[in-house]
Amino acid sequence: MPYSDVYWQKEEIMPKKELEELQLKRLKWVVKHAYDNVEFFRRRLKGAGVRPDDIKRLEDITRIPFTTKDHFRENYPFGLFAVPKDELVRLHTSSGTSGKPKVVGYTSNDLENWINIVARCLYMVGVRKSDVFQNMANYAFFTGGLGIHDGAERIGAMVIPSGVGNTKRQVESMVDFGTTVIHSTPSYALHVKEVAEELGLADKLSLRIGCFGAEPWSQNTRKRLENAFNIKAYDSYGLSEMNGPGVAFECTEQNGLHIWADHYLTEIIDPETGEQVNEGEKGELVITPLTKEALPLLRYRTGDITYILDDECSCGRTHPKIHRIIGRSDDMIVVRGINVFPSQIEHVLMRIPEVGDHFLVVITRTGSLDEITVKVEMRDEVFTGELSDLQRIQQKVQSALHKELGLRTNVELVEKGTLERSKGKARRVLDLRKEL
Ligand code: DLL
């Protein structure tokens, strides 16, 4: 049952002071829980000279050592769990590209919390009982499948677990079943849009809302998706280590993502020094989950770069907002000494009307010189084959990228359909320097 017409749970509008008190109470609990039940955390805390009783104020968190992705790998598969295996009712794994995946487990309380957090997010952007919710996310291991599914179902929407792929059928289902809300990665949504246009079904859809996440996307991609589907598109952030989706989500303001402070304690640090940055400064997001029983991670370094937008939100929710993720610290490309995030490139490309929806950044090294080539698909209509036209567009793209990145790039225009389409998270960068 929703708390009101607008809020799924009353915690969403908890006065800030009460929210902080709750955070402190829960922080004390989670530190003790980790200390008492996970050998790894006990060792780390002892090593830093911290006992659970030493946590008296929220600021005391800085005394606790960070947990990193490597710690997951070192403790694969169950070494970080704080409950016996028979208390777990669900297991997911992260979409790691190399090595062992990160394994995350849930007790039944964890699941219940997660379902409600996701329901909170979806309810916040207007998903209701009367909606037909098509979940075009991978259901295998990935948290974006069942995680979003359960939240939408809790609201009472009719959920279609369509998964990823079979895109023609996805579009037909949308038309036949009257889908009103879709969820997927933004890159897959762009592909669905393409197929809907090819099938001539784009104007037969009755969509109102799109929830997109699991990878970075830009404001200009938002505009493209909103126009193509005639929807409002919302950014959804999460990671397997923090349950999955639902950690932070945009409200209808579409200006920053509320990060649910009753479940996740947030810090922003300088990735080099590990020190907290000044208020409002950009850095790496560090999260301590406050209610997770199975996997109580302390000060987890997400690798994601963002900053806190600590202004009041007109939606009435008291939870702080983060700026959409700018990139991952390990996604950052350093070319000729200049730092570039693929999301900056996406932002530039998606505002150029002649450019299609797909691109790939290829980095090579000739001698000691790094070269960056951006392969860009064109829209069919503009791919006339006229050399002068192509040259004009190529120069336009090149100079727009130069202006934004401060870096000279080679731009290669390719025909629509040339680049691989992603079903889950798109691979935007091919760094051939590493393979030399
Ligand atoms: O991607 C969980 C999720 C599912 C989020 C569905 C949203 C929707 P992982 O596979 O563990 O979990 O990947 C987590 O993906 O650390 C970010 O680097 C990136 N990521 C997730 N959401 C966003 C977003 C899921 N909205 C990793 N913007 C995170 C940018 C995102 N990056």
Give CA separation, 250 vs 14, 125, 164, 247, 432, in Å.
18, 8, 23, 11, 35
Asked if 247 contacts 264 with a C-beta cutoff of 8 angstroms, the reply is: yes
Ligand 1: residue whose CA is nearest its atom 16: 239
**Tell me: domain 1-329, CATH 3.40.50.12780, correct?**
yes
- The sheet with strand 355-366 has its strands ordered as 410-414, 369-378, 355-366, 429-431
| Ligand 1, atom nearest to 240 Cα | 11
Best of 102, 325, 429 for a ligand 1 pocket test (most atoms within 8 Å of beta carbon): 325
**What's the CA-to-centroid distance between 102 and ligand 1, angstroms?**
14
Give me the residue spans of the domains in the chain. Answer: 1-329, 333-435
Cα separation, 398 vs 394, in Å, equals 6
Using a cut of 0.85, tell me whether the model's pTM lies above it. Answer: yes
Q: Atom 6 of ligand 1 has which residue's CA nearest to it?
A: 144
CA distance 51 to 35: 8
Question: Cβ < 6 Å from ligand 1: which residues?
Answer: 94-95, 143-144, 213-216, 235-240, 244-245, 302, 304, 325, 328
Instruction: Report the CATH superfamily, name and number, of domain 333-435.
Output: ANL, C-terminal domain (3.30.300.30)
Q: Which atom of ligand 1 is nearest to the CA of 257?
A: 26
Name which residue sits closest to atom 12 of ligand 1, judged by CA.
Answer: 239
pLDDT tens profile 172-213: 999 999 999 999 999 999 999 999 999 999 999 999 999 999
* Pocket probe mutation, ligand 1, options 304, 306, 331, max atoms within 8 Å of Cβ: 304
Angle between the N-to-C axes of helices 108-124 and 143-155, in degrees from 0 to 180, rounded to the nearest 10 = 70
Per-residue model confidence (pLDDT) at position 139: 96
Best residue among 121, 150, 215 to mutate for probing ligand 1's pocket (most ligand atoms within 8 Å of CB) is 215
pLDDT in tens, 221-251: 999 999 999 999 999 999 999 999 999 999 9
What is the distance in A from the centroid of ligand 1 to the CA of 143?
A: 9
> What's the pLDDT at 98?
65
CA of 205 to the centre of ligand 1 (A): 27
Beta-bridge partners for 67: 300
Cβ neighbours, 10 Å, residue 252: 14
Q: Whose CA is nearest to atom 9 of ligand 1?
A: 239
Q: Is 306:92 a contact under the CB 8 Å cutoff?
A: no
Angle between helices 342-349 and 387-405 (to 10 degrees): 130
Separation of 123 CA from ligand 1 center, angstroms?
Answer: 20
Ranges in the chain, pLDDT < 70: 95-98, 383, 434-436
Tell which residue, 248, 239, 217, has the closest CA to residue 302: 239
Closest CA to 188 of 421, 28, 433, 432: 421
pLDDT at 228: 94
Cβ burial, residue 329 (10 Å; 0-12/13-18/19+): middle
DSSP secondary structure, 376-393, as one string: EEEPGGG----HHHHHHH
Please give the backbone phi and psi of residue 71, each rounded to the nearest 5 degrees, phi first: -65, -30
Q: Report the pLDDT value the prediction gives residue 434, as an integer from 0 to 100.
A: 65
